[in-house]
Structure 1
Amino acid sequence: MGATRRDAGGSPAGRSRRALAGAVAAVLAVGGYVALDVVDVVPGVLTLDSREEAPPPSARPQDGDGTDVDGGALGVEPGGRETLVPLAALSSSAPAPTTAGLTATLGQALADPALGPAVGMDVRDGLTGERLLDHGAQNPLTPASTAKLLAAAAISRSTDPATTFATRVVAGAGGGDVVLVAGGDTLLSPGKGDLGSVAGRAGLRDLATQVAASLRAEGRARVSVHLDDTFARGPALAPTWEPADVGLGLVGPVTMLGTTDARALPGHPAPDDPALHAASLFAAELTRAGITVTGGPGRRAAPADAKELGVVHSAPLVDVLALALDESDNTLTESLARSAAVTTGGVAPGSDDAGSTTGFPAVADWVRGRLGESGLDIRHVVLVDSSGLSRATRAPASVLADLLVGATTGADPRFADIVARLPVAGLTGTLDDRFLGSGGRDAAGIARAKTGTLTGVHALAGTVVDADGRLLVYAVLADRAGGTPQARAALDSVVATLAACGCR
């Protein structure tokens, strides 16, 4: 899985970086990450430095341990305030590095013992897609959560990015029944929704308020609440996942209905039945709205022609998918993949409670097949699930690079919108606490990447701008690596070396 998600608070520096990251994300969301755009604007748009023009890190005054004397690498002014300043504009005529230059420059970093003996790396020109470095890039390796890029590409290529997930309440078959119908939103607020958020955009309190008004208009003040979660029903947990990962909150039951308070978080496992938990919260909100609710919620299919009493909508798919990658959320990624597979007809809806037809291998096969139909070379791709949490998943670094090149060259504009919001080194998401040491600082604020982390497996795949202003795509996988801190630092150093060199 990717680097574990952290609490929203964190350290003061982390909170400050995340606040700044919101401005970065807002800018990136406007333009996407297509080659026609990056001619004029640097991917990532902003870097951390306190001066008007950010000189290369090698030109900054440093103290003995390599830390910028004026705090420039962390974007801290002498008074202690973090700032963001634009980088110089990209030019399509910026020279591309050469294969010989990259081989010579990256050789030592890729040979770091912390990465182990099985390392694959692919470096591509972000504007032309030309391969510049092939360091075992064709070898299938365990990609960990960088496999989420495969799922994200398949989903974005198959579904309108503006699609929202509707959570509805309809009248039941009996006069005193209402049915909460799951529609794929697992990020419902347990209370009032927040239109400015992705997680919690739709709220159960808002839904209950609508339903209460509809019931009162019909002269009804007493109902029982039921749950219909037949949409894309499937098994909750993959048999290839470690039970410890579930117990630690690194992944939770995959459902088509859930609330933000029931998300699986490190140290905070999800409830066994997130959908039923949501139904219970809805019943409580309905009571709060003045309706008497009898009994506890149970499962019951909604009538086909049932009258709708209320509905709320999630954030657009593109935003939810970007959040899943930013936080490396295994559960959310699996839910989105299953929903897309069923909605597009690639996987038949589950025929029974076990959901055999919507199992994790079936959805993973849909992801793989959709990518193959789009022209990706999937001969050496083995997907066991859609999140990369299963160790049996295999993919070459070259496949990840192929996907990213489709985004940077403009060949895949939908996926470009996703790539434009990948975590930024030292600023956001699963990279908010990376690239801050001396070995990775040259890429801080410049590199974007999807992370991948399992015990002994570490990966990064994303984009970076080198010292000559050339946009590069990279994917690096190490699936026989050493300890996590050492392997992460080694990977950060590889990307920072790529950022700092012209390599010609």
Structure 2
Amino acid sequence: MVRSAWRPRPRFTYGMAVLWSVVAVLLGYAVLDVADAAPGALTVRPLPPPPPTETVATRTLPEVPQPSRSTSVGMPLPTLAGETAAPSTAGVEEALAGVRAAGALSDSALVVRDGQTGQVLLDQRGDELRVPASTTKLLSAAAIGQVFAPDETLHTVVRQGDRPDEIVLVAGGDSLINPGKGDPEAVAGRAGLRDLADQVEAALEDQGVDSVRLYVDETYADGPTTAPTWSPTFRSSGITGAVAMLGLSSQRAKGGSPGPADPVAAVRSLFARQLEARGIDVRVAPRGDAPGVPGSPLPGPSTSGTPSTTAQSSATPSTSTSPGTTSPASSVPASGPGSVLGSIESAPVREQLALALTDSDNALTEILARQAAYRSGAGTEFAQVGAWVVDSVGTLGLDVAGVRLSDASGLSRQNRVRASLLADVLVLGYDGTHPVLRRALDGLPIGGLTGTLENRFTGEDHDAAGRARAKTGTLTGANALAGSVVDDDGRLLVFAGMVAGVGTNDARAALDRFVATLASCGCR
């Protein structure tokens, strides 16, 4: 019988477990060390900086030599210069000689004025009557500024009708109402329709009313939505919106994106839905006469038919009356028929006017001009408003002989204005005596930066980028540019250029070269 030899098995002791654990840790660390994931003898990458502490170290700034005059680039917006930097007629004519010889300016009117003294520095056919296109808005801004107080706002009001279950939405001239909550920092959208619905819902709840008939009062500055002298495609293509005394900021017309044909109906429909969402049963009344005093409590037309210099500073009910109002604020009852159930307030008119110039918003310009004409006792047809603008500019002491406007925005080809008059209005606006007009001019597009000048003065004519503010004007075969520029001596120059008979691109290029030359000139 054969027996196998027996051998004892080695025992796995506690000491051996500890030893193998240490070996594993060392091997793992070595791998991390080689991979530069942990510091050690094998680490190639330097150690990371220590974590920051709460003690801030002493900072030092590099010494940078001050630039010399010969190596410096001119400031985009230098401070205005003194009398020693005043340009001369000879200097301006010499600087612009080559520009004026360009074929694109062969049929043009060009005017340059010293913005600080008003001196005429260049007048090339400035007294010829020409199609102004959208530079018409400068004249409208001057007229509007005479009617509205510097901080005047527009109010959209809901009043009670003859019965508790009748409510009247009064169109008050604000075409920039936010469909939701108002934004206190915005111009377009300062007033919020949802805020108005909240106020009206609370007032109705206090009266125990949960079912209403909704009317719209369109008495205030009512008129046609489009002008007979406009192309029928202007509204449908978004060149202009419909002109109405009520509208939403979200429905502003833009090129290729038209607004609604009936802005008032759009606001009424949304407001009815907002009330219904708050548990109020709403029946929309047909358009037409609304119960109560027509237009109350908004300002009415002046009986004198002249621009008002004591415009009411608010369209909300107050304890005082204002000349030229057919529905004085003191007649608005605190409760019952005609009482105000809710009211929202727009951005100041002067800020809306600046926005209209920045965006070249045709409808907004017409809406503001129509209200101003209406408050002054003029008619609200487009030609009537245009005639009122001309008369109002004339009351400023400016020569308007022969000038005629068929609208306030410049879309009509029947408009005729002189380049010299555009320059007159600009000089007047910059002298600081007309605060609404002055604020409107601040809204002029800036070359290479904003509005309709955002993509201009960005190439060879970059000398005027950031330094020129101007209103553009563009209709087929008629182009214009009018505004101001700060030259290399820090002098404010006012200019107006009107070009006919050439393509839009050629006209724009020539006018941009004209302004850029003024910017880089000095012209003394």
Shorter-chain TM band: 0.7 to 0.9
Name stretches of at least 5 consecutive residues in structure 1 with no aligned partner: 1-50, 61-72, 74-84, 348-356
Give the whole-Å Cα distance in 1 for the aligned partners of 2:498 and 2:231. Answer: 22
SS of the aligned residue for 1:426 comes to coil
Q: 2:465 aligns with which of 427, 432, 444?
A: 444
CA–CA separation in structure 1 for the residues paired with 2:171 and 2:489: 51
Q: Which has the higher contact order (CA 8 A, sep 6+)?
A: 1
User: What is the CA–CA distance in structure 2 between the aligned matches of 1:149 and 1:52, rounded to whole Å?
Assistant: 42
8 Å contact 1:457–1:480 — kept in the other structure? yes
Structure 2: distance between partners of 1:413 and 1:212: 38
User: What amino acid is aligned across from residue 332 of structure 1 in structure 2?
Assistant: L
What is the one-letter code of the residue matched to 2:152? T
Distance 1:146 1:311 in 2: 34
What is the CA–CA distance in structure 2 between the aligned matches of 1:408 and 1:232, rounded to whole Å?
30
Matched residue SS, 2:482: strand
Deviation at 1:87, TM superposition (A): 4.1
Q: Which residue of 2 aligns with 1:366?
A: 388
**Mapped pair 1:314 → 2:346:** yes
Q: CA deviation at 1:139?
A: 1.1
Which residue of 329, 332, 346 corresponds with 2:364? 332
Gaps of 5+ in 2: 1-64, 294-336
Q: Which amino acid aligns with 1:141?
A: R
The answer to whether residue 432 in structure 2 is matched with residue 410 in structure 1 is: yes
Moved more, 170-179 or 396-405: 170-179
Could you say which residue in structure 1 is the equivalent of 2:44?
none
Partners of 1:411 and 1:220 in 2: how far apart?
A: 51
Matching residue of 2:513? 493
Match of residue 99 from structure 2: 109
- In the TM superposition, what is the alpha-carbon distance from 1:54 to its structure 2 partner? 11
Residue of structure 1 aligned with 2:253, choices 254, 264, 283: 264
Question: Is the CA contact 1:94–1:469 (under 8 Å) kept in the aligned structure 2?
Answer: no
Q: Deviations over 1:295-349 (max 9, x none)?
A: 576444241251111000110111011111111111111110110111122x1xx
Per-residue Cα deviation, 1:133-161 (whole angstroms, up to 9, x for no partner): 11111111111100100000011022212
Instruction: Say if 2:522 is the partner of 1:502.
Output: yes
What CA distance in whole angstroms lies between the structure 2 residues aligned with 1:224 and 1:99? 68
Equivalence for 2:110: 121
Q: Distance in 2 between matches of 1:86 and 1:501?
A: 14
Distance 1:326 1:123 in 2: 22
CA distance in 2, matches of 1:295, 1:89: 58
Do the aligned residues in 1 keep the contact of 2:430 with 2:438 (CA within 8 Å)?
A: yes
Distance across 2 between alignment mates of 1:242 and 1:94:
50
Residue matched to 1:100: 90
- How far 1:465 sits from its partner (Å)? 1.1
Report 1:267-306 matches (<5 A).
Answer: 267-295=256-284, 298-304=287-293, 306=338
1:437 is paired with a residue whose SS is: coil
Question: What does residue 323 of structure 2 align with?
Answer: none
C-alpha deviation, 1:410, in angstroms: 3.1
Aligned partner letter, 1:96:
A
- Provide Cα deviations, 1:243-302, integer angstroms capped at 9, x if missing partner: 121221101221111111222211111212111111111111112223222357644424
**Cα RMSD, aligned residues only:** 2.1
User: Distance between the aligned counterparts of 2:284 and 2:413, measured in 1?
Assistant: 43
Deviations 1:395-433 (A, max 9, x none): 111001111111223343432222123111111111111
* SS, match of residue 353 in structure 2: helix
> Which 4+ runs in 1 deviate beyond 6 A?
51-56
CA contact (8 A) 1:54 1:87 kept: no
Return closer, same or farther for 1:312/1:297 CA change in 2, 3 Å cut-off: farther
CA-CA distance at 1:111 after TM superposition? 3.1
Task: With the length of structure 2 as denominator, give the TM-score of the two structures.
Answer: 0.76
Decide whether aligned partners of structure 1 residues 171 and 108 sit closer, same or farther in structure 2, where only a CA change above 3 A counts.
same
Kept after mapping to 1: 8 A contact 2:77/2:466: no
Question: Aligned partners of 2:80 and 2:390: how far apart in 1?
Answer: 34
1:386 aligns with 2:376: no
Judged with a 3 Å threshold, the aligned counterparts in structure 2 of structure 1 residues 428 and 297 are, in CA distance, closer, same or farther, namely: farther
Moved more, 124-133 or 91-100: 91-100
Cα deviation, residue 101, structure 1: 2.0
**Cα deviation, residue 104, structure 1:** 2.2
Q: Does 1:480 align with 2:501?
A: yes
* Residues 223-232 or 396-405, more deviating: 223-232
Change (3 A) 1:183 1:131: same
Match of 2:444 among 422, 431, 435: 422
Q: Does 1:146 align with 2:135?
A: yes
Structure 1 pair 54–166 and aligned structure 2 pair: CA distance change class (3 A):
farther
- Partner of residue 234 from structure 1, selected from 214, 220, 223: 223
Instruction: Return 168-177 or 449-458, whichever deviates more.
Output: 168-177
Indicate how the Cα distance of structure 1 residues 174 and 362 shifts in structure 2: closer, same or farther if over 3 A, else same: same
Larger Rg: 2
**Which sits farther off after the overlay, 157-166 or 238-247?**
157-166
Conserved? CA contact 2:422–2:496, under 8 Å: yes
Instruction: Indicate how the Cα distance of structure 1 residues 91 and 100 shifts in structure 2: closer, same or farther if over 3 A, else same.
Output: closer
More moved, 266-275 vs 415-424 = 415-424
**Distance 1:53-1:366 versus aligned 2 partners, 3 A rule:** farther
Q: Quick one: distance in 2 between partners of 1:428 and 1:132?
A: 28
Letter in 2 for 1:272: A
SS in 2 for 1:293: strand
Rounded Cα–Cα distance in structure 1 between residues aligned with 2:349 and 2:456: 28
Cα distance in 1 between the residues matched to 2:68 and 2:359: 29
Whether contact under 8 Å (1:236, 1:253) holds in the other structure is: yes
Q: 1:281 to 1:463 in 2, by over 3 A?
A: same
Letter of the 2:515 counterpart: V
Distance 1:361 1:135, change over 3 A: same
Which residue of the partner structure matches residue 123 of structure 2?
134
Counterparts of 2:279 and 2:510, CA distance in 1: 58
Matched, 1:216 2:205: yes
Is the Cα–Cα contact under 8 Å of residues 76 and 467 in structure 2 kept in the other structure?
Answer: no
User: Residue 331 of structure 1 aligns to which amino acid in structure 2?
Assistant: A
Question: Contact 2:462–2:516 at 8 Å: present in 1 too?
Answer: yes
Identity %: 49
